[in-house]
Amino acid sequence: MKSYFARRILQLVPVLIGMSIVVFSIIHAIPGDPATVILGDHATPEAVKELRTEMGLDKPLISQYFAYVKSIVTGDLGNSLRTKKPIQEEITPYLAATIELMFASMIIATVIGVNAGILAAWKRASWFDNIAMFIALVGVSMPVFWLGLMEQWIFSEKLSWLPSIGRFNAREPIEAITGLYMVDTIIQGNWAGLWDAFKHLILPGLALGTIPMAIIARITRSSMLEVLESEYVRTARAKGLSEIWVLYKHALKNAFAPVLTVIGLQVGLLLGGAVLTETIFGWPGIGRYIYDAIGYRDYPVIQSGILIISTIFVCVNLVVDLLYARLDPRINYK
């Protein structure tokens, strides 16, 4: 197990190198000039040229790439071209915001998705199955943008139940420790703040969680259908075990492996792909951070941001692979 783990970590290195080359090439291949964008439409050509030199953009691409790799290896993610601040400092709060949102949406997606999938498989071809799978189909094809705006319209504007934007009530700010406000408020014993942060998570979490929820429900259902046909489930039922016990203890255990894979992949997608949700809900996450950086051609931010997201993505999938072994004793990593 340990050697497998070490091997997987080592495999990360070529993946990240390859990724950094691809990202570097693409962002330098797209036309556009950060110096002009930063200085704006009133800038003089001299000022633009001076700024390009200062940012090192006049050097050959190869040497720019190696300078970048060198700083990454020494643990320096570089400085933003636009704000001039170290990316390490800048990126942490964005990352925390995205992780909190991702957790919320994955919890919503997994809990509802898996349960709906199990029930749909158990009551196959019933009205519940039909409705749940219809909703899942709609969920998969739902534009997040539209869903988010509808949620805001119904739950904030019309019903006034939930706040529409942000991570907390701006009039009663929460002090950041880890940047995960649900955790921070618990540490501080700030229960009103916890409730506030929780309420702010519901709408964006639901919007972001809808597509994974639908996918998870469908996968769970098909996987459960297969397992429910098998001999050992019949044996379990014959033994007189309660249906819930059969479903959740015996059947789900074997049906869960493909669901876990999907969860792992979705986590990766949510990390970088939450731009739309973050935009609508004014959520200061990493998706928006990178998206804005692309608009400004802020090369170091784009590079380092994508690097961090890919690293997390690879790690999450490593964890998923390790969980496989615990789920299915036949899988043995050596």
Residues in 145-164 at the binding interface with other proteins, rule: CB under 8 A: 148-149, 152-153, 156-157, 159-164
In the complex with other proteins, the residue whose CB is nearer, 87 or 270, is: 87
Q: Which stretch binds other proteins (CB under 8 A): 13-21, 56-64, 225-233, 245-253?
A: 245-253
- According to the binding rule CB under 8 A, does residue 261 interact with other proteins? no
Return the structure tokens found at 11.
Answer: 């495999």
- What residues from 4 to 33 belong to the interface with other proteins (CB under 8 A)? 30-33
Q: Are 167 and 200 in contact (CB under 8 A)?
A: yes
Rounding to the nearest 10 degrees, give the CA dihedral for residues 217, 219, 220, 222.
120
Closest approach of other proteins to the CB of residue 85, in Å: 8
DSSP 266-303: HHHHHHHH-HHHHHHTT---HHHHHHHHHHTT-HHHHH
Closest approach of other proteins to the CB of residue 76, in Å: 17
Q: Of these, 66, 195, 232, 245, which contacts other proteins (CB under 8 A)?
A: 195
- According to the binding rule CB under 8 A, does residue 109 interact with other proteins? no
Return the structure tokens found at 202.
Answer: 């519901």
> In this structure, how many other beta carbons lie within 10 angstroms of the beta carbon of residue 126?
12
Return the structure tokens found at 221.
Answer: 């259902």
- According to the binding rule CB under 8 A, does residue 51 interact with other proteins? yes
Please identify which residue in the block is written with the tokens 């990493």. Answer: 286
Closest approach of other proteins to the CB of residue 10, in Å: 27
Return the structure tokens found at 196.
Answer: 């506030």
> In this structure, how many other beta carbons lie within 10 angstroms of the beta carbon of residue 284?
15
Q: Which stretch binds other proteins (CB under 8 A): 12-20, 57-65, 90-98, 306-314?
A: 90-98
Q: With CB under 8 A, what is the number of residues at the site for other proteins?
A: 75
- According to the binding rule CB under 8 A, does residue 252 interact with other proteins? yes
In the complex with other proteins, the residue whose CB is nearer, 51 or 227, is: 51
- According to the binding rule CB under 8 A, does residue 315 interact with other proteins? no
Q: How many helices (H) and strands (E) does the chain have?
A: 15, 0
Q: In angstroms, what CA-CA distances link 322 with 4, 16, 90, 254? A: 9, 20, 32, 16
Q: Which of 146, 179, 149 is nearest to 164 (CA)?
A: 149
- What residues from 276 to 295 belong to the interface with other proteins (CB under 8 A)? 279-282, 284, 288-289, 292, 295
Q: Of these, 8, 28, 82, 124, which contacts other proteins (CB under 8 A)?
A: 82
Closest approach of other proteins to the CB of residue 332, in Å: 15
Amino acid letter, residue 330: R
Closest approach of other proteins to the CB of residue 73, in Å: 25
- According to the binding rule CB under 8 A, does residue 42 interact with other proteins? yes
